[in-house]
């Protein structure tokens, strides 16, 4: 089950909305990548937990991820507690990622905001020897953050996802109960509108424009990132 990268979302489809194209870029480059959903999305106005499980698995196939897990935390009740950290610690130790992607704070959805601190703390505690689980301690080397909804500041990094953006949209369309789908009979919600899907493309195009690409996905970091030379000045040995 080991994977080099673990992308965490509070709900099935959060990873796809935030960094679906990046996930596809990683998997097609041969990087073993896993997704961990914290909840089943059972509080959603459309669809059921069972439907979303099928949709999430279909999306994982589109993105090429090696493993998709769920910690069964309560949708609408994600909180940074020892009880909720425990299954995340266990997942991190089983998957043993070098790199962790997780939601940014200050998101409009309380679960996204809570997941930011919850997963960060779980990643730290996953490295402590005195917390006993079936798998040995492990702490990711690097954590990156992504936004599900909204952008409040220019990110530290924008990844060129020109060749992978349509795979992201295909993965999102797997969530037939959640996003714009005239064939699905359900109440109108914010994310079920055509405008929301169009906004995902618009946002990616805006970030892409910042780096001279058609599409980009934003990442945020804490603290400096080590580089041998400034980007653009690398030399082949």
Q: Does any domain span residue 101?
A: yes
What domain range is 51 assigned to? Answer: 5-219
Q: Does any domain span residue 226?
A: no
Q: Does any domain span residue 225?
A: no
Give the pLDDT band (50/70/90) at residue 183.
confident
Q: Does any domain span residue 230?
A: no
Give the pLDDT band (50/70/90) at residue 188.
confident
Write out pLDDT tens, residues 122-138: 999 999 999 999 999 99
Q: Does any domain span residue 182?
A: yes
Q: Does position 237 have pLDDT exceeding 70, yes or no?
A: no
Which secondary-structure segment (H or E) carries 167? helix 165-173
Q: Does any domain span residue 228?
A: no
* pLDDT for residue 236: 59
Q: Nearest CA to 170 among 24, 8, 47, 12? A: 24
Give the pLDDT band (50/70/90) at residue 142.
very high
Question: What is the C-alpha end-to-end distance of the chain, expressed in Å?
Answer: 35
Q: What is the domain-level CATH number for residue 194?
A: 3.40.50.10320
Q: Does any domain span residue 46?
A: yes
Q: How many CB atoms lie within 10 A of CB 190?
A: 10
Q: Does any domain span residue 117?
A: yes
- Name the packing angle between helices 49-63 and 165-173 (round to 10°): 160
Write out pLDDT tens, residues 168-179: 999 999 999 998
Query: Considering its fold, how many domains does the chain have in total?
Result: 1
Give the pLDDT band (50/70/90) at residue 232.
confident
Give the pLDDT band (50/70/90) at residue 152.
low
DSSP assignment letter at 183: T
Return d(Cα 219, Cα 190) in angstroms, integer: 24
The residue length of the chain stands at: 237
């Amino acid at each position: 089950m080991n994977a080099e990268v673990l992308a965490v979302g509070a709900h099935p489809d959060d990873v796809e909305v935030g960094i679906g194209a990046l996930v596809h870029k990683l998997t097609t480059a041969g990087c073993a990548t896993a997704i961990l959903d914290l909840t089943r999305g059972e509080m959603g106005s459309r669809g059921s937990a069972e439907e979303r499980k099928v949709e999430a698995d279909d999306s994982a196939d589109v993105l090429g991820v090696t493993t998709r897990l769920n910690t069964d935390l309560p949708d609408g009740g994600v909180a940074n507690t020892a009880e909720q950290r425990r299954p995340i610690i266990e997942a991190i130790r089983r998957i043993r990622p070098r790199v962790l992607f997780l939601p940014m704070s200050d998101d409009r959805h309380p679960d996204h905001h809570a997941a930011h601190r919850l997963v960060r703390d779980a990643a730290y505690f996953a490295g402590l020897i005195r917390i006993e689980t079936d798998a040995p301690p492990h702490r990711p080397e690097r954590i990156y953050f992504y936004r599900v909804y909204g952008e409040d500041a220019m990110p530290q990094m924008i990844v060129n996802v020109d060749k992978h953006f349509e795979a992201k949209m295909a993965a999102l369309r797997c969530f037939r109960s959640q996003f714009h789908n005239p064939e699905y009979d359900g109440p109108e919600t914010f994310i079920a509108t055509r405008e929301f899907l169009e906004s995902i493309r618009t946002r990616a195009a805006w970030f892409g424009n910042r780096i001279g690409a058609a599409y980009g996905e934003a990442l945020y970091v804490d603290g400096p990132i080590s580089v041998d030379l400034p980007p653009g000045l690398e030399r082949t040995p």
